[in-house]
Structure 1
Amino acid sequence: MDAALYLLPVTLGDTPVDKVLPAYNREVIRGIKHFIVEDVRSARRFLKKVDAEINIDELTFYPLNKHTSAEEVSGYLKPLEEGAPMGVISEAGCPAVADPGADVVAIAQRKNLRVVPLVGPSSILLSVMGSGFNGQSFAFHGYLPIEPGERTKRLKELESRIYTESQTQLFIETPYRNNKMAEEILRTCRPQTKLCIAANLTCDGEYIRTKSVKEWKGKLPDLNKIPCIFLLYK
């Protein structure tokens, strides 16, 4: 197996592996002994889900999160520099997209190490695909400000961009605050602005609906504690 930093997508929720990941991913995973992971426990569960015969005790895990220093991350790549393949695993979806995995990929690129992204589910791309919004130009903003005044200001800025730049705007919220975010969008945005709510993507209860702000009023679903992406467009 070629020495490279393999970016290994993870299922979104409890979706069966065979439903969303190519068989080739399983072959690659079986050949890797060193994994850089966002969360060790969830990574171990994912690997067992991919192949129950994987011996977890033979593997080495390197934690990668907001507390990991650049020096530590650079040291993680030593096995790859010595010729061993390595994998990067996030908690859900594709590593290095809205994820700390981007840091280790940047270091690998600076060191001229081979990087191989593998195919898998990205909630960002899936939500754009299912929204009916502009897929030629879109921007993902992660979390909006928590402070109400700043959040309202930010929403108005994003709404302005859909009209001035014809650009789809995407963002997320902590799942237990989803309902408040949806209500804030309806209070803040223009009646004709379109809102797509994409929740539980690829999982049981998948929900993707696009309506105008005016049409959503009084008809919002309960989004509490559900993984969800909000998209705005004109």
Structure 2
Amino acid sequence: MTSASEGVLVLAGTPIGDPGDAPPRLAEELAAADVVAAEDTRRLRRLTQTLGVEPTGRVVSYFEGNEAARTGELADALAGGARVLLVTDAGMPSVSDPGYRLVAAAVERGIRVTAVPGPSAVLTALAVSGLPVDRFCFEGFLPRKPGERLARLREAAAERRTLVYFEAPHRIAATLEAMAEAFGAERPAAVCRELTKTYEEVRRGPLEELARWAADGVRGEITVVVAGAPAPGPQDLGPAELVERVAVREAAGERRKEAIAAVAAEAGLPKREVFDAVVAAKHQTA
């Protein structure tokens, strides 16, 4: 092992499907690590055979069932100067996978944390979805219970950014139905299945249509991308209501200029139209 001051945690991305997508540095890190913490040691063995590399360090399991207990052990190894490599079954560690606890523990101890960037189902699905990607948020897996799932979706119904979810194949039909109920049947979405694998499929369309398609059963690893809520259209507000909204904001302490701009944005109207309504009302009361 290296000196205590050189302990480092390396988060390494692994292929989400095609083994050829493994980053070149992954093999180097697997060979150099003092400890390799893997979500599934059997999958790690298959990956190392494909890459033609043999880890020289200790290989331990690090998955949801033992993550809490093993984090302290790995953090101690890092504090002792070990180079610890963390890999999951697919994609980047800590993104809906084990890793967050160990990263937090390493940061708390002042240990260096770095990464070997690699494949990501989130970014891959966004890129091929055909939906806006300039702003997005990742929601991970939804709750398994129908009521909790629908409640979570309703919380995100007004979100303007593109939404990304992971889902299990046996729940995807029910999830798409819940999305159609919470977001609206016509909300555009894309179901990305088996990304980068032999049977890769990207199904695009309104949520209601995708729910009907999934009702017959869907297999494989699934990422769902949903368009954000549409921008509100112009509201049909009369001059009197515009003036009233400006007055409310002014009473709350806003300057008239800012109040007019805010009301115009809320109503989807030009600021000049709201300004003219305020001026006209002032003349009427003069």
The TM-score, its normalising length taken from structure 2, stands at 0.68
Does residue 231 (structure 1) correspond to residue 225 (structure 2)? The answer is yes
Residue 117 of structure 1 deviates from its aligned partner by: 0.8
Alpha carbons of structure 1 residues 170 and 223: separation in structure 2 relative to 1, 3 Å? farther
C-alpha contact (below 8 Å) 1:9/1:89 kept by paired residues: yes
Counterpart of 1:127 in structure 2 is 125
Contact 1:21 / 1:119 at 8 angstroms: preserved in 2? Answer: no
Identify which of 102, 105, 110 aligns with 2:108. Answer: 110
Q: Percent identity?
A: 25
Q: Is the 8 A contact 2:32 2:57 kept in 1?
A: no
**Pairing of 1:173-192 with structure 2 (within 5 A):** 173-192=167-186
Aligned match of 2:270? none
Residue pair 1:25, 1:118 contacting (<8 A) in 2 also = yes
The one-character-per-residue Cα deviations of 1:103-147 (angstroms, maximum 9, x if unpaired) are 111111111112111121110111112223332332222222222
2:207 to 207, 213, 223: 213
Over residues 39-66 of structure 1, what are the superposed CA-to-partner deviations in whole Å (9 max), with x where a residue is unaligned?
2222222222222x51x6x542233233
- Bigger radius of gyration, 1 or 2? 2
Pairwise CA distance, 1:28: 2.1
Q: 2:164 aligns with which of 156, 161, 170?
A: 170
Contact 1:129 1:135 in 2 (8 A): yes
- Which whole-Å CA distance do the structure 2 matches of 1:46 and 1:185 have between them? 36
Question: What is the deviation of 1:98?
Answer: 1.4
Identify which range, 116-125 or 219-228, moves more after superposition: 219-228
Structure 2: runs of 5 or more not aligned: 229-286
Report how far residue 215 of structure 1 moved. Answer: 5.1
Counterpart residue number, 2:34? 33
**1:1-234 to 2 correspondences below 5 Å:** 3-13=7-17, 15-16=18-19, 18=20, 20-51=21-52, 53-54=53-54, 58-68=56-66, 70=68, 72-161=70-159, 166-213=160-207, 216=210, 218-220=212-214, 224-234=218-228
In structure 1, how many angstroms separate the alpha carbons of the residues matched to 2:192 and 2:185?
Answer: 20
Greater relative contact order: 1 or 2 (C-alpha under 8 angstroms, separation 6 or more)? 1
Give CA deviations for 1:77-110 in whole Å, capped at 9, x if unaligned.
3333333321001111111211121111111111
Q: Secondary structure at the match of 1:105?
A: helix
Distance between the aligned counterparts of 1:154 and 1:198, measured in 2? 21
When residues 160 and 60 of structure 1 are mapped into structure 2, their CA distance, relative to the original with a 3 A threshold, is same
Kindly provide the amino acid, as one letter, of the partner of residue 158 in structure 1.
Answer: A
Q: State the distance in 1 between where 2:48 and 2:201 align.
A: 27
Q: Which segment is superposed worse, 196-205 or 69-78?
A: 69-78
Amino acid corresponding to residue 32 of structure 1 in structure 2: A
Contact 2:139/2:164, CA 8 A, preserved across alignment:
yes
Give the aligned length: 224
- Give 3-state SS (helix, strand or coil) of 1:176's partner: helix
Summarize deviations over 1:10-54 as a string: whole Å, max 9, x none: 2113x22x3x12322222221123112222222222222222x51
What's the offset of the Cα at 1:229? 1.0
In 2: Cα distance, 1:59 partner to 1:196 partner: 42
In structure 2, how many angstroms separate the alpha carbons of the residues matched to 1:178 and 1:218?
A: 11
